[in-house]
Amino acid sequence: MAILAALECMYECFPHITLPQYLIALEVRKSERDGVPHTLASLVKKLRMPFSTASRVVWSLTEEGGSIGVIRYQSHPTDRRKKQLVINHKNLPAEVPQAVTRAMLEYYGDTVRQLKRTQV
């Protein structure tokens, strides 16, 4: 349900987005939220896709590479030769993360409420 809600919202915001673009954007968002932003090499390894394909799709998700602009390159904090992939929050409509959060709460809400009751 959460994936479907996110896909629907993403489609409403970006009706021309492809599934590879969506998967890469979702993986970049997840890794950044986990505190370990991807580099292009780590994204390729995680998604098991050719480097040239990942590079082309990531580029299409940047402001420089297309009209979507939801991903940006950021300097790596310890290695100046590397760039990290992060979400460009200024171009990500608030509806997308809200749709995912809402869907997750609707899907897992009962479980979360039960866990909170047992912890009290």
Domain coordinates of the chain in residue numbers? 2-119
Q: What is the pLDDT of residues 50-80, one digit of tens each?
A: 999 999 999 999 989 887 888 999 999 999 8
Q: Is 2-119 in CATH node 1.10.10.10?
A: yes
- The pLDDT of residue 42 is above 70: yes
Token pair of 36, please? 């370990």
pTM listed for this prediction: 0.71
DSSP per position, 44-98: HHHHT--HHHHHHHHHHTSTTTSS---EEEEE-SS-TT-EEEEE-TTTS-THHHH
Whether the predicted pLDDT of 116 surpasses 60:
no
